[in-house]
Structure 1
Amino acid sequence: MYSYKPRYWDPEKEDLDERLKRVEDLKNGSVDAAKSRIAGGFKKGGFRKGNGTWNTQYRRKQVARSNYILLITFVVLGLLTFYFLSRYMPSLANLLGN
């Protein structure tokens, strides 16, 4: 006869056990600990385990930070270009004119 035994699954407890195991491995300094630490870094902001959705707030922060760094880079490169052109352009114009 068929007998079904329902089992209880607690995702929070499983996540806690996984983190505790990761910390214990880190203390031991094994290769698996390094792999786990790297994989944990990827999981941190992306996919939420509990409800199965993507963490859009984390993604939005990362995109804003990336755009800010890109803007600062362009400003610095623009200032450096202006400096070098204003400093060396007159001598370049004289060289080409003669």
Structure 2
Amino acid sequence: MAFLRLFKPPRNQQFSYKPRYWDPKKEEAEERRLRIETLQNGGVDGMKERLRGGFRKGSGGEAAGRYRNERVRRSNYSLLIILVTLVVLSYVVYVLYFPELEQLLG
């Protein structure tokens, strides 16, 4: 029997997986509906949900996004100014002191 196995290697195990249909938009709409119902009912659960929603949005929503973009733009501008200043300063140091350094070394 072992002789026959040499010519016919065993096959890999196979299975058939059929994924279930999942609709992310429907699930998101259902979560939103439940959250709105909780907010409208009020009470402690409504307050908790309101706070949780604020943290999810990043405390400020769209205004916070604009504020962040403004800060990033300002930071990039400052970085550019510093970089240009360093390049100009390096060039000045190179032009003024390199000939003297070359004479000392050579």
Alignment TM class, shorter chain as reference: 0.3 to 0.5
Structure 1 length as normaliser, TM-score? 0.47
Higher relative contact order (CA 8 A, sep 6+): 1
Decide which structure has the larger Cα Rg and report it.
2
